[in-house]
Amino acid sequence: MNIYYDAIYSDGLDPSANFPVERYLKLHEAIKYLDHQCLIRWKKPRLASPEELMLAHDETYVQRFLDHDLSKSEIKRIGLSPWKREMVERTLRLTGGSLEALNSVLSGDLFSANLGGGTHHAFRGEGSGYCIFNDLAICAEAALRRDTISRILILDLDVHQGDGTAEIFKDDQRVFTVSLHGKRNFPFKKAKSDWDVEFERDAGDDDYIATLEGVLNQLRGERFDLIFFQAGVDALATDHLGTLALSRSGMKIRNQKVIQWRRAMGCPMLIFMGGGYSRPIEHTVDAFCDLFMDLAGEFRDHTH
């Protein structure tokens, strides 16, 4: 199974940023340690082109970002301050990782993943909530240019609503957006996905899994050519920015439900890492390790 990753995912952020800068590096090292069977092929992402960014974003916004010309208020809304010059390369490579993972599934792989991305709070003309460009939207637009892809499902299980994605595709019947998220959490002004499911504060494993099963069962009746899974683990009880109360085992069951459902749907799936802000960050890393190792095992079982 191909996973795209580059050290700049962590190194391109200032260590003092109000963001778990080290989580990408820690996760990469943890997965490499656990992958005794060499199920994962690590791939270095390329840089996304300005033209690819403009598939889902306004040209002026793209150009101002590339020229290091965003205003202080725009940078503050994104929230990755202090802003390093490496932010441009990091963002292009992070988006490139998602586009390369997309190309992997469009070339015949069952799964592919980016050890980053899932930047669902970015809108066409502005960034928000740690998200500069919306790689889910960019990848959807890129995929829909293929003759074989006419309808995409974006299943967003991050604890925060995928508001940017919902807004970008609000009038586009080719992309069906589903978001399961905390009701009283960022973004406090919600957008309208095709299907929003909100959880009250401190909802735990049983409530979450039962609700998710209901959603997945209803989606079985739909036809999609491609599934995007925004696999944030910030619904963990330990998450600093979440409002839900899932355990590590509950999160593992969540992932397994999605994997089993995808098998029944028979669609290739692209995985975007999404959010995770536990304190200590090791809880986030452990939950993501569970996800990627389970996906790699499913990939192995399918290809043998």
The residue extents of the domains of the chain are: 2-303
Show Cβ contacts of residue 233 under 8 Å, excluding neighbours closer than 6 positions: 239, 251, 274, 275, 276, 284, 287, 288, 291
2-303: which CATH architecture?
A: 3-Layer(aba) Sandwich (3.40)
Q: Give the helix ranges, DSSP H, for 37-153.
A: 50-53, 59-66, 72-78, 87-106, 135-143
- For residue 5, what are its two tokens? 């990753």
Show Cβ contacts of residue 304 under 8 Å, excluding neighbours closer than 6 positions: none
Per DSSP, 49 falls in state: P
Angstrom distance (rounded) from CA 247 to CA 249: 5
- For residue 125, what are its two tokens? 């003309």
The neighbouring-strand residues paired with 301 are none
pLDDT in the model for residue 299: 87
pLDDT values of the chain reduced to their tens digit, one per residue, 304 residues: 999 999 999 999 999 999 999 999 999 999 999 999 999 999 999 999 999 999 999 999 999 999 999 999 999 999 999 999 999 999 999 999 999 999 999 999 999 999 999 999 999 999 999 999 999 999 999 999 999 999 999 999 999 999 999 999 999 999 999 999 999 999 999 999 999 999 999 999 999 999 999 999 999 999 999 999 999 999 999 999 999 999 999 999 999 999 999 999 999 999 999 999 999 999 999 999 999 999 999 988 887 6
Torsion angle of C-alpha atoms 157, 5, 49, 53, degrees rounded to 10: 10
Angstrom distance (rounded) from CA 15 to CA 302: 40
